[in-house]
Structure 1
Amino acid sequence: MRTTKAHSITGWIAAMGATLLATVFSASSVSAQLPAEDAKDWKLREEVGNIRVYTVDQTDSSFKAFKAEALLDTPIENLMAVMINPESCLEWVHNCIESYAFGEGNFHDRYAYSVNNMPWPVTDRDYVLRIQTRGNRASGEVIMDLNAIPNQRREFDGRIRVDRSDTFYRFIPRGDQTKMIWIQHTDPNGSLPGWLVNSLLVDIPVRSLQALEKVAQKPHYQGFELVYDDAGQLISVRHSTE
């Protein structure tokens, strides 16, 4: 049988995950700096098809946080097949031009490096991220937290390291569809023109979610399943032929 890239990545995560985390992280402990999903101050900024984007001020930052909600026409298994591929940022995240895993990690707790392309003359930003994943069979939901850990890798010339970025993904199965909630706040460091900041807050989630829906329908992201332990906790995402 031909081994796909996503299939091989699953094997990599499984190999790294021989010892699973003993603690299941809670949403409040990991994403404490992000506004709540149901915070009353969210303001609708854009509605495109099945995607709604909201923003809210952050009291300790000059940059707003955004929340994107979408009902994606693809099952949760396909989306998680995309998410476990450390290079999938290139396929769906708007302006992502480099992405790969690094260091030791496992399915629940791993690390990635990525670069966002910025329009000239703005300097590209790079991210060093800790990615934590959890889920349970009872709800069927999967939650991911991506938090900047800037000092875990040396800085590179020609790129500005983002030292504050917090992202929360919630995937909620709806039969053959999936509701996705994406909350993010990033302080991109350095001076940025206001027009660029405002456009990124809307363009990134809208274009990214439109791309994600299409990417998750590609052949090499089909045929995956969520794997749970005896306690009903999510422990892996694997191809059904494994």
Structure 2
Amino acid sequence: MRTTRAQSITGWMAAMGGALLGFFVSASTASAELPAENAKDWKLRQEVGNIRVYTIDQSDSSFKAFKAEALLDTPIENLMAVMINPGSCLEWVHNCTESYAFGEGNFHDRYAYSVNNMPWPVTDRDYVLRIRTQGDEETGEIIMDLNATPNQREEFRDRIRVDRSDTLYRFIPRGEQTRMVWVQHTDPNGSLPGWLVNSLLVDIPVRSLQALERVANKERYQGYELVYDETGKLTSVRNSAR
């Protein structure tokens, strides 16, 4: 195995087994429920600094999908160090109040549980996600797919389990910066007021990406590198200092 800029977080990777989400048989197959990134019907909803958020109607759902695009001022290694940390949801995903890995898995295919705090009197939503990751050394691009697998964990009385959620994270290195595309469609179950749904579609990606850029530049996420096999496929992310 050859290494290129990377560290292995083998401990949690083995435990995590997978989640923004590799569902990767291929990116297109894994994200079959999501609208195409270049679909003509995307509507720009908000632009804040280096972040643009779009929404699009879904023919089989009353809830829109969103796409967020950003040029983050941090290298891709830092971002992947964040992504392989199962508890990092609390650091950067807006309203995430609980997150951990569970079950057996590996870098490419693993599971995570997370909770999203909702404003009173709306009931909190929880997610059981299968996460699949793939990367290519030649292009430098890394893709993560996160899909709801609700029956993998017992439900809680005080939370509503989200049974339909599909997310794609695409990371493209741009020197010391990283272009990130985040496409997501979630049907949150239960009754939700329209104002809340509409605000979440824009607020969550904007606030989350702003936080992700800050978090990825913290000291604890420095010094990581990406590890590729002899075919140029990403196999892990490791701390080069260890």
**What residue number does 1:56 align with?**
56
Counterpart-to-counterpart distance in 2, 1:191 and 1:17: 32
Code of the residue aligned with 2:131 in structure 1: it is I
**Amino acid across the alignment from 1:12:** G
- List aligned pairs for 1:9-158, cutoff 5 A: 10-13=9-12, 15=14, 25-158=25-158
2:11 partner letter: W
User: What residue number does 1:226 align with?
Assistant: 226
The match for 2:3 is: none
Which residue of 2 is the match for residue 4 of structure 1?
none
The normalised TM-score by structure 2 is 0.93
* In 2, Cα distance between equivalents of 1:146 and 1:107: 13
* Gaps in structure 1 of 5+ consecutive residues: 1-6
Looking at structure 2, the residues matched to 97 and 210 of structure 1 have their Cα atoms a distance apart, in angstroms, of 17
The whole-number CA distance in structure 1 between the counterparts of 2:219 and 2:25 is 32
Q: Could you report, residue by residue, the CA deviation over 1:14-35 in whole angstroms, capped at 9, with x for unpaired residues?
A: 55699xxxx9621111100000
Q: Is the 8 A contact 1:126 1:161 kept in 2?
A: yes
- After superposition, give the CA deviation of every residue in 1:120-164 in whole Å (9 maximum; x if it has no partner): 000000000000000010000100000000001010110000000
Identity %: 78
Segments ≥4 residues shifted beyond 2 Å: 13-18
Inter-partner Cα distance in structure 1 for 2:225 and 2:127: 29
Distance 2:120 2:31 in 1: 32
| Contact in 2 for aligned 1:160/1:189 (Cα 8 Å) | yes
Indicate how the Cα distance of structure 1 residues 14 and 100 shifts in structure 2: closer, same or farther if over 3 A, else same.
Answer: closer
Q: TM-score by structure 1 length?
A: 0.93
Unaligned runs of 5+ in 2: 1-6, 18-22
**1:11 aligned partner, one-letter code:** T
Kept after mapping to 1: 8 A contact 2:76/2:178: yes
C-alpha deviations, 1:19-70, integer Å up to 9, x for none?
xxxx962111110000001000000000000000000000000000000000
Task: Indicate the RMSD between aligned Cα atoms, in angstroms.
Answer: 1.6
Report how many residues are paired. Answer: 231
